[in-house]
């Protein structure tokens, strides 16, 4: 069950980002997981519940978007969605295709609870979403 390893990495990143933002807790984590990773959504949720105990992520909601496989035909350029096993081009029947979506594993955003007052001596920085765009450091909850 490789989901525990995946979730351990997700929790490391989320806890680090939340601590950096001086958050008191993580409220929600949004993930995009490609179907071709063969990660099982229910196993990810279970692993998250088990591994998040005692961390800033404990009790957070895990929102998972499963991304379907999408390929491009190298012969005719047609792009198409498919299942895990049938990657032949429906336009020209070529088997020469490349996978362009469906293997991603990314944290698209993390929503945290940030206190109104940051303890003295700590850096108060603006938060950033998963795209790296800085926010205004609005009161909780915030996305980082």
Q: What is the pLDDT of residues 24-43, one digit of tens each?
A: 999 999 999 999 999 999 99
Q: What's the pLDDT score for residue 132?
A: 43
For residue 134, give its domain range.
Answer: 3-67+103-143
Phi, psi of 101 (to 5 degrees): -155, 150
Kindly state whether residue 81 falls inside one of the protein's structural domains: no
Q: In this predicted structure, what is the pLDDT of residue 130?
A: 45
Asked whether residue 95 is assigned to any structural domain, the reply reads no
- How much is the pLDDT for 115? 85
Tell me if 65 sits within 8 A of 102, measured CB to CB.
no
pTM confidence score: 0.74
pLDDT at 116: 80
Residue 86 lies in a domain: no
Low-confidence ranges of the chain (pLDDT < 70): 1, 117-144
112 assigned to some structural domain: yes
Q: What is the C-alpha separation between 137 and 144, in angstroms, rounded?
A: 10
CATH number at 10 reads 3.30.2320.50
Look at residue 98 and tell me if it is in a domain.
Answer: no
pLDDT at 121: 54
* Domains held by the chain: number: 1
Q: b/e map of 80-104 (b: 16 or more CB within 10 Å)?
A: eebeeeebebeeeeeeebeeebbee
pLDDT of residue 38: 93
Give me the pLDDT at residue 2, please: 85
Structure tokens that stand for 92 in this block: 């020209």
């Amino acid at each position: 069950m490789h989901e525990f390893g995946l979730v351990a990495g997700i929790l490391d990143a989320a806890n680090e980002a939340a601590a950096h933002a001086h958050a008191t807790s993580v409220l929600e984590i949004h993930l995009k997981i490609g179907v071709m990773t063969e990660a099982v959504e229910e196993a990810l949720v279970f692993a998250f519940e088990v591994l998040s105990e005692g961390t800033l992520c404990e009790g957070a909601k895990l929102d998972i978007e499963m991304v379907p496989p999408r390929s491009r035909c190298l012969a005719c350029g047609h792009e198409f969605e498919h299942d895990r096993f049938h990657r032949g081009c429906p336009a020209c029947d070529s088997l020469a295709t490349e996978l362009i979506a469906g293997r991603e594993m990314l944290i698209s955003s993390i929503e945290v609870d940030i206190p109104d007052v940051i303890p003295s001596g700590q850096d108060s920085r603006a938060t950033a979403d998963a795209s790296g765009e800085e926010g205004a450091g609005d009161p909780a909850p915030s996305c980082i």
